[in-house]
């Protein structure tokens, strides 16, 4: 493995070997003494996988039913484009009058305000009108003409921000008619955190819950760490394996997740709130943190910050482990992440950042 302190040109790709790696991991799993029971369902427009270890089939079935129920309730309440609780909030928040918000929405609003402030506005869930303008509110993304520069500029100039949302007890009040809240970037992650808490309350000690690019693991996998594959920038093939255990979350935000292609150009759903356009310079960001919501918000903010600015934003958000893949094919990470990740290609060229010293006040000194 070659580490550089400045950008390096070129990366050797051994993509032809990644199916073999997956096969070896699967064979290793077969040797576990305790079986892993996996349940799969759909929620938040993606596939959700729950893996449980060390409990009976009946307990696993009951736990899976609880988690699927949790996800169903949360998806109904948090969907920004349906006439449910979030839809009601978005109708009332533009009025400038105080109103009693549904209790299920308040945690998202509080998190949104905190994450926006920590990220200097790079994570901004108040730009729902921009998301709708681009068509990213649709469940199915088809090729279509992007919005005009004039339309984008008009919405950016209206400057919607979570700082314009006041919380007073159970009431919310908006101060900008351009506000439209869209917590899609962290909704799955928040659902994972709440569901893991539910599992812990029922006595489950070893589990992995994944929804799209977000996951959280508790305990271990029959005495071994959970081994999480990190995809290459294209979305196909494995770049690295990340062992995690005890209680950690891993979230990846990537341009291959939600996008459309028009006249040969790819437009992805991670918008830069400062410009209104899809963020440039980044292909994917993976963040490891103790809770999934923080990891998801940070992954979005660091994607927008890009290869040159991500370390400063990571420090402000209290993040200890980051891997960023840029549009030039380069791999960036901080030293703590480099020490724990297992690259498929040992000759991969890595650009290391300085240690994330600024996280000491939030997450302890980097190890």
Q: What is the pLDDT of residues 50-98, one digit of tens each?
A: 999 999 999 999 999 999 999 999 999 999 988 899 999 999 999 999 9
Query: How many other C-beta atoms can be found within 10 angstroms of the C-beta atom of residue 324?
Result: 29
CA nearest to 300, candidates 183, 211, 156, 215? 183
Q: With 0-12 CB in 10 A as exposed, 13-18 as middle and 19+ as buried, what is 125?
A: buried
The class (CATH top level) of 2-31+225-363 is: alpha beta
Query: How many other C-beta atoms can be found within 10 angstroms of the C-beta atom of residue 204?
Result: 22
d(CA 201, CA 285): 31
pLDDT in tens, 36-50: 899 999 999 999 999
Per-residue pLDDT band for 34 (boundaries 50, 70, 90) equals low
Residue given tokens 């990213």 in the structure block: 136
CA nearest to 348, candidates 19, 5, 25, 14? 14
Hey, is 156 helix, strand or coil?
A: helix
The residue extents of the domains of the chain are: 2-31+225-363, 81-182
Please give the C-alpha separations between residue 318 and each of 280, 285, 311, 314, in angstroms, as whole numbers: 24, 16, 11, 6
The stretch 176-195 carries a mean pLDDT of 97
d(CA 10, CA 330): 7
Sign of torsion, CA 206 213 196 337?
positive
Q: Is the pLDDT of residue 364 over 70?
A: no
Does 81-182 match 2-31+225-363 at the fold level? no
Question: What does the buried/exposed string (b/e) look like for 78-89 if buried means 16 or more CB atoms within 10 Å of the residue's CB?
Answer: bbbbeebbbeeb
CA nearest to 335, candidates 325, 349, 320, 324? 320
Q: What is the mean pLDDT of the chain?
A: 89
Distance, CA of 206 to chain centre: 22
Are 208 and 226 in contact by the 8 Å Cβ rule? The answer is yes
| Runs of H (alpha helix) within 137-201 | 149-157, 184-201
Instruction: Provide the angle, in degrees to the nearest 10, between the axes of the packed helices 292-316 and 106-118.
Output: 20
The reported pTM is 0.88
Per-residue pLDDT band for 205 (boundaries 50, 70, 90) equals very high
Joined tokens for residue 319: 């993040």
Q: What CATH number matches the domain at 81-182, 1.10.3980.10, 3.30.9.10, 3.30.460.10, 1.20.1250.20?
A: 1.10.3980.10
């Amino acid at each position: 493995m070659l580490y550089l302190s400045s950008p390096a040109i070129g990366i050797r790709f051994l993509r032809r070997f990644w199916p073999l790696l997956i096969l070896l991991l699967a064979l290793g799993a077969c040797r576990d003494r305790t079986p892993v029971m996996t349940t799969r369902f759909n929620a938040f427009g993606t596939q959700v996988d729950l893996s449980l270890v060390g409990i009976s089939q009946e307990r696993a079935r009951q736990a899976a039913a609880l988690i699927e129920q949790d996800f169903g309730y949360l998806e109904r309440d948090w969907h920004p484009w349906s006439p449910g609780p979030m839809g009601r909030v978005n109708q009332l928040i533009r009025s400038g009058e105080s109103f009693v918000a549904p209790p299920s929405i308040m945690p998202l609003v509080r998190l949104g305000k905190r994450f926006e402030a920590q990220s200097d506005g790079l994570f901004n869930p108040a730009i729902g009108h921009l998301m709708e303008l681009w068509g990213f509110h649709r469940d199915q993304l088809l090729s279509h003409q992007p919005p005009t520069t004039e339309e984008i500029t008009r919405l950016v100039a209206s400057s919607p921000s979570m700082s314009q949302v006041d919380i007073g007890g159970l009431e919310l009040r908006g101060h900008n008619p351009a506000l439209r809240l869209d917590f899609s970037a962290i909704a799955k992650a928040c659902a994972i955190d709440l569901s893991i808490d539910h599992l812990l309350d029922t006595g489950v000690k070893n589990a992995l819950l994944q929804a799209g690019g977000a996951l959280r693991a508790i305990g271990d996998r029959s005495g071994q760490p959970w081994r999480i594959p990190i995809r290459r920038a294209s979305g196909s093939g494995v770049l690295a394996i990340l062992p995690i255990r005890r209680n950690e979350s891993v979230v990846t935000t990537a341009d291959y997740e939600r996008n459309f292609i028009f006249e040969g150009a790819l437009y992805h759903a991670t918008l830069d709130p400062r410009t209104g356009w899809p963020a440039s310079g980044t292909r994917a960001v993976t963040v490891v943190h103790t809770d999934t919501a923080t990891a998801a918000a940070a992954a979005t903010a660091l994607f927008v910050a890009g290869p040159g600015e991500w370390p400063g934003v990571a420090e402000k958000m209290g993040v200890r482990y980051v891997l960023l893949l840029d549009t030039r094919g380069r791999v960036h990470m901080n030293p703590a992440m480099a020490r724990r990740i297992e690259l498929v290609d040992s000759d991969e060229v890595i650009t290391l950042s300085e240690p994330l010293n600024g996280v000491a006040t939030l997450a302890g000194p980097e190890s």
